[in-house]
Amino acid sequence: MGFPKSLGPLRTSRKRIPRYRRAEEKDGTVNRTGWTVRFQRATQHQCAERDFLTDHFGAQRKEVCTMEDLIQRLEQAVTRLEHVSTSMQESNAMANGTCINGLDRAVCHCVEAFDVLLGGPVSDYLKHSRAIGKEVEKHAEMVKRALQTERTFLEMAATHQEPAQTELQDLLKPISDHIQEIQNFREQNRGSCLFNHLSAVSESIPALGWVAVSQKPGPYVKEMNDAAIFYTNRVLKDYKETDKSHVDWVRSYLLIWTEMQSFIKQHHTTGLVWSKTGPIAPASLLDFTTPCPPPPPPPPGPPPVFSDDDSEPHQVDRTAAQRSELFAQLNQGVGITKGLKHVTDEQKSHKNPNLKSQASPTKNKTPNSADPSTVSVQKRPPLLELEGKKWRVENFQQKHDLVIEETELKQVVYVFNCNNSTLQVKGKINSIIVDNCKKLGLVFENAVGIVEIINSKSVQLQVLGMVPTISINKTEGCQVYLSKEALNCDIVSAKSSEMNILIPEGEDDYREFPVPEQFKTIWDGSKLVTEPTEIAG
């Protein structure tokens, strides 16, 4: 039984065997003559075609390579020309008094560090201030301008020598004006619901005056920062649970002064560092333009051109003539003193004793630096008026007959910047605040809220009726006269000294009790225990 025809691949067809294989099957040899000839002809044709293609496309490839080389060489030439052009522009800029980035690299590290402060905490403070808006945003823009002015001052100090004391005061005036503007804005917005925000900035912005502190300006900035913390704590108390944006605002603002202390410690530890080699500082900060280092020496000129033979003798003769004149002056001998001025016996101190008795001119001693606290402040007019629900008593001097009579339970009294004055408040009032006053006497009848004394000196307070709480903060010298009805009031003090509480005895007599200022804290195993201490003298 054979395979079916459908299985063709299994059958071998002799027509598929090449002719030379059939010859091989016959006699055992391969007759390849005809096949070889045909193969050689085909090979020759292919080689000719390949040579033609090689010649044609090879020429094109060489041409393409040549163009690529030319383009690459042109690009290299353009790059070199750009470098030369940039170098010439930089040299011209330095020769014309301008420089790249505004400062020499050797002196701009301080300003660059200050720019980091502006780009970090200050930028965050501005962002959070815009989120709150209203008066806080306007106040923040004033702070921004003040810091920019301080940056300009630091640029000038990095490239100029310290000027005289009078000129230094003029240089500090722009910074002083910014500080005054920021503080005035707080005074103009006392009725604002964001008054604590404005107060935190206003109380701490004098820290910009550290540039005038001669020794260790860092602690001065820390002191101003502590003044801000008093008001930022109030902000946190009011908004900690209601609006997180105010909390972020507090953190960003306090971080400015923390970073400022680090900046001062790193670059100006013992006071503002002035340049030792630059010119004297200008008379005004407005006249300052960012200086540059002197331009580098010009490149050496081309080699001298060979002069003609006719010009060389003239040059040699001129040089010889100058040398002869120099030797002639040196060889004058006795005649060299003819140009000196004659000094008579009256002008000689050893022959005229009266000259020794005359006082020699002395130089005025100038202090090392300006005191930021001596910045002139314009006197504001006194004010006693009711603004909404707030009685404003401000800027009184040597006034002892101040009286507030028509009071209501919802009204508050704010006493600010009063010196050597006396105020009497009649009736029942909500609360009373005494801020930045000296030698002030305050007498009031009744208060349903707190009576607070802040940033003051030598204050006397007398209660005729009742008051629940008396708070004393950052005050030096405070006398509190309590009535019999107010003996149960709470007295809270912080950062204050020389406080005395006077308790009534009899009708017109008082007994004085000092408030402790020194405390001792111990660990009892589970908690800290703080007790007042008494120093035995």
Report domain extents, the chain: 33-98, 109-287, 382-532
3-class secondary structure, 376: coil
DSSP 8-state symbol, 320: H
pLDDT at residue 260, as a whole number: 87
Domain 109-287 -> CATH class: mainly alpha
Q: Quick count: other Cβ atoms within 10 Å of Cβ 493?
A: 18
Which CATH code for domain 382-532? 2.160.20.70
Sign of the alpha-carbon dihedral angle for 440, 441, 447, 449: positive
Strands 383-387 and 390-394: what pairing?
antiparallel
**Contact present, 444 and 428 (Cβ < 8 Å):** no
pLDDT for 118-141, tens place per residue?
A: 888 888 889 888 888 888 888 989
Q: Quick one: which of 435, 436, 432, 383 has its CA closest to 407?
A: 432
Contacts of 267 (CB under 8 A, 6+ apart): 109, 110, 113, 273
Distance CA(171)–CA(165), nearest Å, equals 10
Kindly state the percentage of the chain with pLDDT values over 70.
65
Dihedrals phi, psi of 528, to nearest 5 degrees: -85, 135
Examine the pLDDT at 12 and tell me if it is beyond 60.
Answer: no
pLDDT at residue 44, as a whole number: 61
Highest mean pLDDT among 43-52, 173-182, 335-344, 460-469: 460-469
Mean pLDDT in residue range 348-370: 58
pLDDT for 389-441, tens place per residue?
A: 899 999 999 999 999 998 998 899 999 999 999 999 999 999 999 999 999 99
Tell me the pTM: 0.42
